[in-house]
């Protein structure tokens, strides 16, 4: 099992403390608003659950078993004793995945276009990276509703709230890569989300070098209100955890350019239905 504190991004702690400091001053008002909105939030949760179970595919041992195995492996690595409900759903073409939590349940949503792209390319490790990234948000406490309540006022402040969100993404990337044990596969997963092509092969070095072409001040301004860091930065950030990766798996990094035969079965084991 991974030690989450080892992989938590340093700036996440700093920004959370800053957000919490702001939130404490508004805590009576925030708590009052939460009590006032509690009935509405409960109804929203029930509608959300009804929509998921009625319009999305629940990942289980019987349905999408290869995805289910990735989920269970990730939960074991991250110390999640009660796995969240994982669903595959159509996302209008978006390549995305989400971690969602209400007081009454935790969920991971995998958009079908992203799953299909990974399956078609035989990218089993990359798919596992995406799943473990979302599981990591739950394991690292990023979806904790009480924490969100505390820092809610800071999220409305310029820069601070989004800075915390971006640091959480770095943490989830680190944990996702550690779960897979393959930095190169983790980077390829991020590139796949960025480019989204089913036929083109992206040169990792060339893609990352694009970071040097981003105008400094405008690159900073473009991220101030962004909840996620740009993909080039996320890939570069992964290199900082090379020394932390599980030793028994670091030897797989160079060999991970080819997906092992056992993992290529993912394409056949996950039915893609129109």
Q: Which residue has the tokens 């505390």?
A: 150
* Residue 55, token pair as written in the block: 């319009």
Residues paired with residue 166 on neighbouring β-strands, in sequence order:
none
* Residue 51, token pair as written in the block: 């929509």
pTM: 0.87
pLDDT in tens, the chain (274 residues): 899 999 999 999 999 999 999 999 999 999 898 888 888 888 989 999 999 999 999 999 999 999 999 999 999 999 999 999 999 999 888 899 999 998 778 999 999 999 999 999 999 999 999 999 999 999 999 999 999 999 999 988 878 999 999 999 999 999 999 999 999 999 999 999 999 998 889 999 999 999 999 887 887 787 888 999 999 999 999 999 988 887 654 344 333 434 333 343 444 343 333 3
Q: What is the pLDDT of residue 247?
A: 64
Q: What is the pLDDT of residue 224?
A: 83
41-49, long-range: CB < 8 A, 24+ apart = 41/102, 41/103, 45/102, 45/103, 45/104, 45/105, 48/100, 48/102, 49/105
Q: What is the pLDDT of residue 274?
A: 31
As a whole number of angstroms, the distance between CA 14 and CA 57 comes to 38
Cβ distance 94 to 113 under 8 Å?
A: yes
Task: Find the angle CA(208)-CA(213)-CA(169) to the nearest 5 degrees.
Answer: 50
Q: What is the pLDDT of residue 262?
A: 37
Phi and psi angles of residue 246, each rounded to the nearest 5 degrees, phi first: -50, 125
As a whole number of angstroms, the distance between CA 259 and CA 189 comes to 13
As a whole number of angstroms, the distance between CA 274 and CA 21 comes to 50
* Residue 185, token pair as written in the block: 């596969």
Sequence ranges of the domains in the chain:
4-249
Phi and psi angles of residue 258, each rounded to the nearest 5 degrees, phi first: -120, 135
């Amino acid at each position: 099992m991974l030690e989450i504190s080892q992989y938590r991004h340093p700036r996440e702690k700093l920004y959370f403390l800053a957000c919490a400091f702001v939130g404490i001053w508004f805590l009576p008002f925030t708590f009052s608003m939460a009590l006032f909105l509690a009935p509405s939030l409960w109804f929203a949760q029930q509608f959300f659950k009804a929509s998921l179970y009625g319009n999305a595919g629940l990942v289980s041992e019987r349905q999408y078993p290869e995805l289910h195995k990735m989920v269970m492996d990730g939960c074991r690595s991250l110390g999640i004793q009660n796995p969240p409900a994982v669903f595959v759903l159509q996302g209008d073409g978006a390549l995305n995945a989400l971690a969602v939590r209400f007081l009454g349940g935790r969920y991971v949503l995998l958009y079908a276009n992203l799953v299909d792209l990974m399956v078609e390319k035989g990218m089993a490790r990359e798919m596992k990276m995406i799943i473990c990234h979302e599981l990591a948000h739950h394991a690292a406490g990023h979806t904790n509703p009480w924490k969100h309540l505390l820092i809610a006022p800071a999220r409305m402040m310029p820069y601070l709230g989004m800075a915390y969100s971006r640091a959480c993404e770095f943490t989830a990337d680190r944990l996702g890569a550690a779960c897979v044990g393959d930095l190169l596969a983790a980077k390829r997963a991020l590139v796949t989300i960025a480019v989204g092509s089913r036929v083109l092969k992206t040169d990792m070095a060339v893609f990352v070098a694009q970071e040097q072409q981003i105008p400094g001040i405008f690159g900073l301004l473009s991220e101030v209100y962004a909840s996620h860091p740009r993909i080039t930065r996320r890939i570069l950030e992964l290199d900082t955890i090379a020394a932390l990766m599980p030793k028994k798996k670091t030897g797989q990094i160079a060999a991970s350019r080819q997906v092992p035969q056992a993992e290529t079965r993912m394409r056949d084991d996950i039915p893609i239905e129109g």
